[in-house]
Amino acid sequence: MAHYKGAASEAGRALQLQKKREKAVEELEHKKRKIEEELKLSTIGSKFATHYDAIEQQIRSSTVGLVTLDQMRAKQEVAVKEREKQLALKIESIQQKEAEDKRELKERQKRQSSDAMKEAKKHRMIKNPDVDTSFLRDRDREDEENLLREQLRQEWVEKQERLKSEDIEITFSYWDGSGHRRSVMMTKGNSIYQFLQKCLDSLRKEFHELRAVTADQLMYIKEDLIIPQHYTFYDFIVTKARGKSGPLFAFDVHDDVRLVSDATVERDESHAGKVLLRAWYERNKHIFPASRWEPYDPTKNYDKYTIGDRSSK
C-alpha cells in the first residue's frame, strides 16, 4: 500500500527554509554590528537607535511567506543600503547644523567682545578730568600703586642685604672672674653662635680650659642680659634693642664707659659684652655680677632700670 509523503516533504522543505531564515537573521545581526562600528552611531545619541530595527522590520514585511536564501539576502542588501543612505543624510544634516551653530556662536561672542571694548573706551573718554575720582577704584592706578609698592619692597630687601653684609668690629671681654678684653671682626648678618665660635677660636691658644669647649658651652652677656645664640646682630640693629644700661649694640666700644663716666647718664655707647663658660655661670649665678644677669626678653622695657653699683665691671 502506497503512503502519501507530500506533507512530510513540505515539512522538510519548510524546516530547511526556516534554518536558512535563521542564518540570514544571524548575518543581518552581524551586518548591523559592522554598520555600528563603521558609522560610530554611539556618538550620535539615541536619535538613530531605531535604525537597525527599521531595517529588520522592512525585511520582515518584504519576506512574508517562504523565500529562498538568495532572495532574502537580496532584499536585505537593498534594505540596508536604503537605511544607510537615509542615515548618512541625517548625519550630514546634523553636522551642518552643528557647524552653523558654532559659527553663529563665535560671531556672536566676537560682536559682544567688540561692543564691550567700545563701551569701555566710550566711558573712559567721557570722564571729566576736573572731577576728583581718587576715591573710586581705578585699575590702572591700582596697577601703578602695586608696581611702586613692589619696587619699594625690592629696594628695601636689597638695602637690608647690603646692611647684613657690612663688617663690624665687636669688642668683648672673656670673663673667668676677671675681664680679658679682645675684639673680632664679624658681619652684621652673623649670628651670636657664629660670633662665639670665632671668639673661641681666638681664645683657645691662650686659655687652656677652652681647648675642648664648643660654642654651645659658651654664653654671651650684653648690658646684663643673656643673649640667645640664634639672634643675629642685624636683629638688634634694626630694632634698636636696648639692654639694662643702654643700647645693646652701637659698635663703638673701645674703653669701658663705666670707668670713665657716670653710668647712670644716658649715652650712645654700649659696653663690651662678656663671653664666658656656661659652667662658670652655673657656679656663680648667685654672686654679683652674675646675679644681675637675666635672659633677654624683646618685649621688656628697661628704660627705668638704674645701676646700683658703678664698679660692677
**Pairwise CA distance, residues 12 & 18, whole Å:** 10
Identity at 96, one-letter amino acid code: Q
Identity at 34, one-letter amino acid code: K
**Pairwise CA distance, residues 106 & 109, whole Å:** 5
pLDDT at 204 over 70: yes
With cut-offs at 50, 70 and 90, classify the pLDDT of residue 139.
confident
pLDDT at 42 over 70: no
Is 250:150 a contact under the CB 8 Å cutoff? no
Question: If DSSP codes are grouped into helix, strand and coil, which group holds residue 183?
Answer: strand
- pTM greater than 0.95 (yes/no): no
DSSP string, 249-301: --S--SS-HHHHS-TTS--S--PPEEEEEHHHHHHHTTSTTGGG-EE--TT--
DSSP single-letter state for residue 130 = T
**Pairwise CA distance, residues 134 & 120, whole Å:** 19
Instruction: Tell me the pLDDT of the chain averaged across its residues.
Output: 75
Q: What are phi and psi of 163, to 5 degrees?
A: -65, -40
With cut-offs at 50, 70 and 90, classify the pLDDT of residue 282.
very high
**CA angle (48, 38, 62) in 5-degree steps:** 60
pLDDT at 36 over 70: no
Residues 6+ apart with CB under 8 A from 15: none
Distances (CA, A) of 224 to 50, 129, 200: 96, 63, 21
Tens-place pLDDT, residues 219-260: 999 988 999 999 999 888 888 888 877 778 775 444 443 443
| Maximum mean pLDDT: which of 159-168, 184-193, 294-303 | 184-193
Give the residue-averaged pLDDT of 292-310: 72
pLDDT at 267 over 60: no
Provide the pLDDT for residue 142.
82
Identity at 24, one-letter amino acid code: A
CA 112 from chain centre, in angstroms, equals 35
Q: Any idea which of 5-14, 109-118, 139-148, 168-177 has the lowest mean pLDDT? A: 5-14
**CATH architecture under which domain 167-252+270-295 falls:** Roll (3.10)
pLDDT at 312 over 60: no
Provide the pLDDT for residue 295.
92
Give the residue-averaged pLDDT of 17-33: 76
Evaluated on CA atoms 294, 298, 300, 306, the torsion sign reads positive
pLDDT at 156 over 80: yes
Closest alpha carbon to 196 in 186, 207, 206: 186
Give the residue-averaged pLDDT of 306-310: 47
Going by their DSSP bridges, the two strands 294-295 and 273-277 should be labelled as unpaired
Tens-place pLDDT, residues 71-112: 767 777 777 777 777 777 777 778 788 888 888 888 888 888
- The single residue listed with the C-alpha cell 550620535 is 44
